[in-house]
Structure 1
Amino acid sequence: MFHMLVLFWLWYLIGVFGESVSVMEGDSVVLHTDVTEIHKNDDIQWIFGAENILIAEINTEVGFFNMSDVLDGRFRDRLKLNKQTGSLTITNITTQHSGDYKLEISGVKLSSKTFSVSVCRHLPIPVITSNSSQCSSSSSSSSSQQNCSLLCSVVNVSHVTLSWYKGNRLLSSISVSDLSISLSLPLEVEYQDKNTYSCVINNPISNQTLHLDISQLCHTCAEVHYCCGFTEALIRLVISALVGVAAVAVLVYDIKSTRGGDKKQIPYIL
């Protein structure tokens, strides 16, 4: 009797909570009925969403069909039914197909099952930028000279987590469930830090990792000022040279013009 109660409770939990399925956008997913063979007079229905929209059905008396034109054709040319088991395949799946799918079987025995399907987008590669404004000419604090402020960002993501790692140790993270236009996570490191840092974006299926190159993004204020001072000096030198060349050209032209005028004023003597 106890075992029967346990089995009933497990069956109840499966029926209520169902299975969670994660799939990448563009892939196919199969929702299994766990039925090896459909019996005579069995009726299998697949129902989608909170509105309980019938999207596919198998009835041994009238045959099988799918309702691909429902929901503005969202499932058109995407549904495949297994005639032997009643399992449902969704091909070329998109985020529009995320949601709950309910299986109802009636006939020899009654059973139901729910699948919670999450469709994940392909993840972008994170972008790491540094805050160069910390090295302004008025900055005099030692902390601004020793630390480098970084920002890891991604755009147009949903149901993801963005994290900073130092080696294999998680430093910080931020998550978003709905579609986000931009997701950013700051980090501050010392410019002489030799540790390995990486920014990771992940969802239940995949992840993208970008490793931080401190030497490329982080510079001391002295290095930035030296770089800027050298560039400024070079620009001034080029401008001075151009001005000098222009002045010489004007002077030469003026001298030639003066000599030409003098020759025209000399009288002709017979």
Structure 2
Amino acid sequence: MWLFIMFFITVKVGSSEIKVQEGDVLNLHPRFEDFNKDHQILWTFSNDNQSSRIAQLYHGNIYTHYENRFSGRVQLNERTGDLNISNISTDDSGLYEALIVLNKQITKIKFKVDAFARVSVPVIIISSSLVSVHQSPAFLSLCLQVLLYCNIKELCSL
């Protein structure tokens, strides 16, 4: 007599896109609560056909020293599986994946992250030499309105 043991494993896949500004903290939430020692999570990062492990929760232990580029910037929450990466840079843009094993159920969650550089505030400088006598009064009035608006806006943001 043959004995067949069958394991039924459910695989779920989810994904989302996240935009984050350079220098901020990237927070990735797999939307699970109350991990215990039997639950596992593996976080990976992929960019330009290269994939690397970032962090792992395995049998209640947290491992985060896999990739030098994330060294000292990665935190993994052992209760929720949330991954936080501080001081994010544009080089950290790519695909982040969480592979979660809970009660014979495997869930794979993908996060497409786009880290963008900060944009500096433009400075408008108008020199009196730019305004000539030949320009119309309407143009001068417009220039004064723009300057007044910019100064008021600047004062309000202080």
TM-score after normalising by structure 1: 0.42
Instruction: Specify the alignment match of 1:126 in structure 2.
Output: 122
1:97: Cα distance to partner? 2.0
1:94: Cα distance to partner? 2.5
Structure 1 residue runs of 5 or longer lacking an equivalent are 1-10, 137-143, 148-188, 199-209, 214-270
**In the TM superposition, what are the counterparts of 1:109-188 in structure 2 within 5 Å?**
109-129=105-125, 135=132, 145-146=135-136
Between the aligned partners of 1:89 and 1:35, the Cα distance in structure 2 is 15
1:105: Cα distance to partner? 1.2
Would you say 1:65 and 2:63 are equivalent positions? Answer: yes
Q: Aligned with 2:142: secondary structure?
A: coil
Structure 2 residue runs of 5 or longer lacking an equivalent are 1-11, 153-158
Instruction: Specify the alignment match of 1:211 in structure 2.
Output: 150
Match of 2:139 among 152, 174, 190: 190
1:115: Cα distance to partner? 1.8
Residue type of the alignment partner of 1:75: F
TM-score after normalising by structure 2: 0.66
Instruction: Specify the alignment match of 1:93 in structure 2.
Output: 88
Residue type of the alignment partner of 2:46: G
Structure with the largest fraction of helix? 1
Root mean square deviation, CA, Å: 3.4
Structure with more contact order per residue of length (Cα contacts < 8 Å, sep ≥ 6): 2
Between the aligned partners of 1:196 and 1:74, the Cα distance in structure 2 is 49
Same amino acid, percent of matched pairs: 26
Instruction: Rate the CA distance shift 1:145–1:195 in 2: closer, same or farther, 3 A.
Output: closer
Residue type of the alignment partner of 2:91: Q
Aligned residues of 2:99 and 2:108 also touching (Cα < 8 A): yes
Aligned residues of 1:74 and 1:96 also touching (Cα < 8 A): no
Aligned residues of 1:47 and 1:55 also touching (Cα < 8 A): yes
1:30: Cα distance to partner? 2.0
1:79: Cα distance to partner? 0.5
1:40: Cα distance to partner? 4.8
Instruction: Rate the CA distance shift 1:23–1:196 in 2: closer, same or farther, 3 A.
Output: farther
Instruction: Rate the CA distance shift 1:20–1:195 in 2: closer, same or farther, 3 A.
Output: farther
Which digits, 9 at most, give the CA deviation of each residue in 1:52-71, with x for residues without a partner? 2111111227x331244x2x
Q: Which has the larger radius of gyration?
A: 1
- Count of aligned positions: 136
